[in-house]
Amino acid sequence: MAGFLSRERTVAGPGFNRWLVPPAALAIHLSIGMAYGLSVFWLPLSKAIGITQSAPEDWKVSAVGWTFTIAIFWLGTSAAIFGAWLERAGPRKAGVAAACCWAGGFVLGAIGVKTHQLWLLLVGVGVVGGIGLGLGYISPVSTLIKWFPDRRGLATGLAIMGFGGGAMIGAPLADRLIKHYATPTSVGVWETFLTLGAIYFVAMLAGAFGYRVPPKDWRPAGWTPPAQPQKKMMAQGHVHVDRAWRLPQFWLLWGVLCMNVSAGIGVLGMASPMIQEIFGGKMIGAGGVALADLTTAQKAEVASIAAGFTGLLSLANIIGRLFWASLSDTLGRKRTYMIFFAAGAVLYALVPLAGKLGNPALFVGIFFVILTMYGGGFATIPAYLADIFGTQFVGAIHGRLLTAWSTAGILGPILVNYIREFQISRGVPAASAYNVTMYILAALLVVGFFCNLAMTPVKEEHFMSELDLGTMGATPAK
Amino acid sequence: MTETAGKSAEPRAGGWLLVAGAWIAVGIPLLWGVWMTLKKAAQLFR
């Protein structure tokens, strides 16, 4: 079995069609993308004992919500730890390990819910599942980049789009399953965990077994690597992962990802309350009435419209992943991030004006574009890494870079929530409490702009020698 | 441009059918998810 999973056994034979690899990657990313839909479980879990309403022994929403935070932390951590192993072991073994961890995490979580042990839920879905997220997320990156040297952005965009889209499938599916399994003695969560675990296990195994790595020296027919000096930012060699993270280019890209994600993740988390508090009654034709002054029925109507706004942002997120990553193949990675940061900073700074003008359409439009660039930032970074450090260790380097995501996952929401609370405590009206936050998020993007501006190609002295590459059985410098 | 691997770069018989099948397998759930999200987002434009 171990031999069947090895890198050597995954080398594609003659006639293999490279367009089979993106759907395999997508199967894994669509499965692990459910991480963003886990919040669908929090409310039922807060009534696991009381069933119809929370009992004193029931878990608080804030307590079970830690599952997501822990999972995202372990996503970045495991990607950083296991990235180098993945390059040696190959994508299929990593994909199978990811399937075992992600599905196994749901099984442990189900036991935790059934026996009402919160720690088991946190360890199961949070830690074990989080390790599955990290392994699954980086498993196809290196392989896709090697199959698509001519369209790196498109290839990684197709896969990483799945991570943005996973919750779109998983959340409504989980909602239906919870309702299906709910009985007078169960809220239906542990049964849903087991069902989802089984579905994801099968889908991820199918993806892992669909992975193939290209034969040595393979390149698309009719394609030749771009020559210098047209593509100055395209590495002509490969940098070892242990050297890459010691170079300034790595930390500049770390800053690029961290700033882009911090700004976007902060907005995603507060999208629903933000639009409700800024526009209040205007969203239901009761202009001039603040959210706090609406009736309960009106508030429910406003909340329903805000849920539509959140859904639209999710769509923008996945559209951006494919659109911007593909466009970066033409524009170049550095130029694409320049657009993200310059346009993003301007758009964030325009949000308070859109709120002041009382124009919900302008407000929604601004955030739609911002969220496409947030998704685009995730999907374009693997191709950027491959351009700068070469393709040999891009999966492992990408894994280490994802610690920027873990950092942003903490930095973004903290910035947004604490600034908002501070503003309100100073007597600023709720509708205006987001203005300073938006300017600070715009400032983060300016920092990201300068990190990207400072990016330069890696010096040749840092590339691996022909001898090192030969020892690894790798493709020599292009 | 030929999209296949190997020295001969000859597409395997039925290779593109397999590609279509794989894309349909991941595309159907993805489209269902997009449809569900669009239905939710439609409330914004009522």
Across the interface, whether the CB atoms of B36 and A19 are under 8 A apart is answered: no
Asked whether residue A5 carries a pLDDT value surpassing 80, the answer given is: yes
Asked whether residue B2 carries a pLDDT value surpassing 60, the answer given is: no
Least confident of A206-210, A433-437, B12-16: B12-16
Chain B closest-CA separation from residue A348 CA (Å): 21
Helical segments of B1-46, H only:
15-41
Asked whether residue A179 carries a pLDDT value surpassing 50, the answer given is: yes
Question: Of A409, A347, A380, nearest to A256 (Cα)?
Answer: A380
CA distance A377 to A320: 8
Most confident of A132-136, A351-355, A359-363, A457-461: A132-136
Q: Is B11 left (phi over 0), alpha (psi -120 to 50) or beta?
A: beta
Q: Which pLDDT band, with edges at 50, 70 and 90, does B7 fall under? A: very low
Optimal mutation site among A11, A16, A40, interface B, most CBs of chain B within 10 A: A16
Chain B closest-CA separation from residue A449 CA (Å): 32
Which of A19, A168, A315 has its CB closest to that of B19? Answer: A19
Number of A–B residue contacts, CB under 8 Å:
121
Chain A closest-CA separation from residue B14 CA (Å): 10
Which of A30, A210, A305 has its CB closest to that of B44? Answer: A305
**Is the pLDDT higher at A120 or at B9?**
A120
> Span A52-56, mean pLDDT?
91
Q: Does B17 touch chain A (CB under 8 A)?
A: no
**Is the pLDDT higher at A269 or at A70?**
A70
Q: What is the reported pLDDT for A293?
A: 86
The answer to whether the CB of A32 falls within 8 A of the CB of A98 is: yes
Amino acid at A65: G
> Span A431-458, mean pLDDT?
92
Q: Does A362 touch chain B (CB under 8 A)?
A: no
Q: What is the reported pLDDT for A229?
A: 47
Mean pLDDT over the full length of chain A: 90
Q: What is the reported pLDDT for A93?
A: 96
Q: What is the reported pLDDT for B14?
A: 67
> Span A135-160, mean pLDDT?
94
Write out the DSSP string of A223-264.
Answer: --PPPTTTTTTS-SS---HHHHTTSHHHHHHHHHHHHHHHHH
CA distance A308 to A271: 10
Q: How many residues does chain B have?
A: 46
Question: Of A115, A103, A142, nearest to A48 (Cα)?
Answer: A115
CA distance A356 to A350: 10
Q: What tokens does A183 get?
A: 């009985």
Write out the DSSP string of A156-202.
Answer: HHHHHHHHHHHHHHHHHHHHHHHHHH-BTTB-SHHHHHHHHHHHHHH
Q: Does B14 touch chain A (CB under 8 A)?
A: no
At A215-233, the pLDDT tens digits run 988 888 888 877 664 456 7
CA distances A78 to A73, A83, A113, A159, A403, Å, are 9, 8, 25, 19, 9
The answer to whether the CB of A380 falls within 8 A of the CB of A141 is: no
Chain B closest-CA separation from residue A78 CA (Å): 26
Q: What is the reported pLDDT for B12?
A: 63
Burial class (CB in 10 A: 0-12, 13-18, 19+), A186: middle
Q: Which pLDDT band, with edges at 50, 70 and 90, does A49 fall under? A: very high
Asked whether residue A1 carries a pLDDT value surpassing 60, the answer given is: no
Q: What is the reported pLDDT for A477?
A: 37
Asked whether residue A316 carries a pLDDT value surpassing 80, the answer given is: yes
Q: What is the reported pLDDT for A124?
A: 98
- Angle at CA of residue A462, ends A458 and A468, nearest 5°: 135
CA distance B8 to A66: 53
Q: Does A220 touch chain B (CB under 8 A)?
A: yes
Chain B closest-CA separation from residue A414 CA (Å): 27
Interface of A with B in 122-181 (CB under 8 A): 162, 165, 168-170, 172
At A246-273, the pLDDT tens digits run 999 999 999 999 999 999 987 887 788 8
Q: Does B34 touch chain A (CB under 8 A)?
A: yes
**Is the pLDDT higher at A470 or at A129?**
A129
Q: Which residues pair with A381 in a beta bridge?
A: none
Which of A24, A212, A311 has its CB closest to that of B37? Answer: A311
Across the interface, whether the CB atoms of B41 and A308 are under 8 A apart is answered: yes
CA distance A24 to A159: 9
> Span A397-419, mean pLDDT?
87
Q: Does A16 touch chain B (CB under 8 A)?
A: yes
Across the interface, whether the CB atoms of B22 and A23 are under 8 A apart is answered: yes
Q: What is the reported pLDDT for B1?
A: 42
The dihedral over CA atoms of A356, A362, A363, A368, expressed in degrees to the nearest 10, equals: -160
Q: Percentage of chain A surpassing pLDDT 70?
A: 97
Residues of A in contact with B34 (CB under 8 A): 165, 168, 315, 318
Across the interface, whether the CB atoms of B5 and A12 are under 8 A apart is answered: yes
Q: Does B23 touch chain A (CB under 8 A)?
A: yes
**Is the pLDDT higher at B13 or at A18?**
A18
Across the interface, whether the CB atoms of A221 and B1 are under 8 A apart is answered: yes
Cα-to-chain-centroid distance, residue A154: 16
> Span A40-49, mean pLDDT?
93
Most confident of A60-69, A159-168, A192-201, A453-462: A192-201
- Taking the model in full, what pTM does it have? 0.89
At A75-123, the pLDDT tens digits run 999 999 999 999 899 999 999 999 999 999 999 999 999 999 999 999 9
Question: SS3 letters for A32-57?
Answer: HHHHHHHHHHHHHHCCCCCCCCCCCC
Q: Beta strands of A327-431 (E only): which ranges?
A: none
Question: Of A235, A54, A220, nearest to A147 (Cα)?
Answer: A220
The answer to whether the CB of A348 falls within 8 A of the CB of A360 is: no
Which of A165, A218, A223 has its CB closest to that of B30? Answer: A165
